[in-house]
Amino acid sequence: MSSERVVHEFPPVYNGDSRVLILGTIPSPKSREHGFYYMHPQNRFWKMLCAVLGENIPEDVNGRRVLCLKHGIALWDVLESCDITGAEDSSIKNAKPNDLRLILDSCPIKAVFTTGKKAHALYGKYFPDLPEDICLPSTSPANRTITETEMLEEYRRIAQYLN
């Protein structure tokens, strides 16, 4: 499989009440297909987030968007575009970051979380002047180095910034 140029095609999720910003790297092929974040059926993001929030996983994109806004969560990605092979974050080249100030300057964000080591590394590289991020484990189906119980413990850190 060869790399392709991917440009982020859908907007961030946020409003004036967003208190937590969660950032991935760039949408996977399945997420681009569905036009929303973390949409691969085996990705554990929505399972983890909904467990933290005490909510059922919404079945559609609009329900997931509403869930985030209801709980003060903003979603976006570190990158606006890059060259990538499939969904392999390790293959990212020629990256261009999003303008995260769009959210950070318009919302009372208390914490920034990155989902996975690559999102964390890219955030640190492109945004050294922004608030330090908290790196959460990747929820990608490719990440099998952590149990769901351990992952959920890490994701529970989000809750302390939502009150």
Residue 40: count of CB within 10 angstroms of its CB:
19
pLDDT at 2: 87
What average pLDDT does this structure show over 94-98?
Answer: 98
DSSP characters for 26-75? Answer: S--HHHHHHTSSS-STT--HHHHHHHHHT-PPPSSHHHHHHHHHHTTEEE
pLDDT mean across residues, the chain: 95
Q: Which domain holds residue 60?
A: 4-161
What average pLDDT does this structure show over 79-99?
Answer: 95
Report the percent of the chain where pLDDT is more than 90. 92
Q: How many domains does the chain have?
A: 1
pLDDT at 110: 97
Query: Does position 141 have pLDDT exceeding 90, yes or no?
Result: no
Does this model's pTM top 0.85? My answer is yes
Q: What's the pLDDT tens digit per position in 26-47?
A: 999 999 999 999 999 999 999 9
Question: Which residues are identified as catalytic?
Answer: 43
CATH at residue 44 = 3.40.470.10
pLDDT at 143: 82
